[in-house]
Amino acid sequence: MPGLMGTKLGMTRLFKEDGTVVPVTLIQTMPNEILHKKTIEKDGYVALVVGFSGLKKEQKNRKYRFVKEFKLDAGDSAQYEKGQFLNLDLFKEGQLITLSGYSKGKGFAGVMKKWKFHGGPATHGSHMHRRPGSIGCRAKPGRIEKGKKMAGRMGGAKVTLKGREIVLIDAGKGVIGVKGAVPGSVSNLVVIS
């Protein structure tokens, strides 16, 4: 089954019949056009190339702002053709989906904010309050190991959430409601699969 691309609208909440409150993120999924169909004969695998969010001024070789490829099983490819539009008929309420997006950028952050270090002593003459402390040995290995947790830019990275439940589908408006939070700020691209 292919996926869809959409933009994050924001968060709200829904009340169930038993009175429980469900936090919901709304995602606007305008029609996604199939731009190209990849086949085993030509490309070695089966996939759909899908375009989303048309440009204000179409360019010579570019029609959409976002273009993404969704892999398919060989049996599913027959029902999709180039020029066809994908919409929310692919999903149903209660279904578990995978969401991908880019998290909000936080800028340069220290180790306490970025990696949840507990910091040094607060009193008794200590000057090491929010510092990382030792970052490695001396002569052996004589270097800092790769992947060492240090201060640096935080956020702005790709985040994938699996097993998110669909609680609302409004096919007329092209809006899908997903339980819980979704990475990124309002109007960010979200990939649903």
What is the tens place of the pLDDT at every residue in 67-106? 999 998 877 778 888 988 988 888 999 999 999 999 999 9
Q: In terms of domains, do 92 and 112 share one? A: yes
Q: What is the pLDDT of residue 63?
A: 86
What is the pTM assigned to this prediction?
0.85
| CA–CA dist 63, 159 (Å, integer) | 27
Do 109 and 42 share a domain, yes or no?
A: no
Residue 38 lies in a domain: yes
Is residue 27 within 8 A of residue 7, CB to CB? The reply is yes
Q: Do 108 and 190 lie in a common domain?
A: yes
Question: What is the per-residue pLDDT across 122-165, written as a single tens digit (0 to 9) for each?
Answer: 999 999 999 999 999 989 899 999 999 999 999 999 999 999 99
Burial class of residue 182, CB neighbours in 10 A (0-12, 13-18, 19+)? buried
Within a domain: 43: yes
The structural domain count of the chain equals 2
Residues 113 and 154 in one domain: yes
User: What SS3 state is found at 98?
Assistant: strand
36: in domain? yes
